[in-house]
Amino acid sequence: MVDLSDFHPLMQEALRTGKIPDNDELARALGDGPGRVTRFRNQRESESPDPHVNAEPDLHEPNEKRFREKYRDMVATIIADWHEDNPSAGNSLPDDERERIEDYCHRQIQQEWRMHRKRLKDEQESCEGSEI
């Protein structure tokens, strides 16, 4: 597991949820104007990609959304279970408990994602080997 505690909170959120901050959020976090962030993003999008990067199709992309949703569902389920086990807490969930739950779910999803990617890679290699 990678320690993300030194990362900016926006980066941590993006890595956990897949949500990319909008230009205004980035500008506030960087102490910069939103115009500069917009120009930078536009410049990056207009650059032609290196043909050797991602030369093969990304077989995992359709599943990324499914894994993110599974992570969110897992977190929501465990939080609901926690509330059920701790009715005296009302609707509040202590920050350290939320972090513990999110870390646990993150580790579970990362393990499943690695197994999924390995399976896809093995299938791809198996198909390539049978074509010879």
Distance in angstroms (rounded) separating the CA atoms of residues 107 and 96: 16
Residue 52 has pLDDT above 50, yes or no: no
**pLDDT grade, residue 6 (50/70/90)?**
confident
Cα dist from 45 to 38, 40, 73, whole Å: 11, 9, 32
* Mean pLDDT lowest among 13-17, 78-82, 88-92, 97-101: 13-17
Distance in angstroms (rounded) separating the CA atoms of residues 23 and 44: 14
Please give the pLDDT value at position 54: 39
Please give the pLDDT value at position 57: 40
- Interhelix angle for 61-85 vs 95-130, to 10°? 150
